[in-house]
Amino acid sequence: MLTAGLRAAFDVEVTARDTAAALGSGDVEVLGTPRVVALVEEATVCTVAGQLPDGHTTVGTEVSIRHRRSSAPGTTLTVTARLIEVDGLRLTFDVAVHDDGFLVADGTVRRVIVDRASFPPATPRRG
């Protein structure tokens, strides 16, 4: 049973592959906003891992992120998510990214619980 208050957190180091230049979202060698979005979505998935009925998963439906501070490669980030609302199958999370106590990004992610069988099997990633 999912209830508001569930949390997840993990640390990750920014690499050259995470930069705006590498991701095509800019031309500077700092953490790119698309990577921030991927990290906070990963945190939301971790928050409900093991809490869903068998055969179910969640998919993202809305992301609202404020990327407030740059982070260079080598920086260790702490990524957090907290489930703040359960409305039937709809889930809302507060998310944040910190660098040594400084707020890098924050926002809200919404996901919905779905039957995994309603989606085709995942194909291996390229590269």
Q: Does a structural domain hold residue 123?
A: no
Q: What's the predicted TM-score (pTM) here? A: 0.92
Each residue's pLDDT, cut to its tens digit, for the chain (127 residues) gives 799 999 999 999 999 999 999 999 999 999 999 999 999 999 999 999 999 999 999 999 999 999 999 999 999 999 999 999 999 999 999 999 999 999 999 999 999 999 989 888 777 776 5
In order, the DSSP letters of 11-36 are EEE--GGGBHHHHTS-SSSSB-HHHH
Burial level of 102, CB count in 10 A (0-12/13-18/19+)?
exposed
Q: Does a structural domain hold residue 53?
A: yes
CATH number of the domain within which 105 lies: 3.10.129.10
What pLDDT, on a 0 to 100 scale, did the predictor assign at position 127? 59
Name residue, tokens 């609202």.
64
Q: Does a structural domain hold residue 96?
A: yes
Residue 102 domain boundaries: 7-118
What pLDDT, on a 0 to 100 scale, did the predictor assign at position 88? 95
What pLDDT, on a 0 to 100 scale, did the predictor assign at position 52? 94
What pLDDT, on a 0 to 100 scale, did the predictor assign at position 126? 65
Q: Does a structural domain hold residue 125?
A: no
Count of domains forming the chain: 1
How many whole angstroms separate alpha carbon 91 and alpha carbon 18?
A: 27
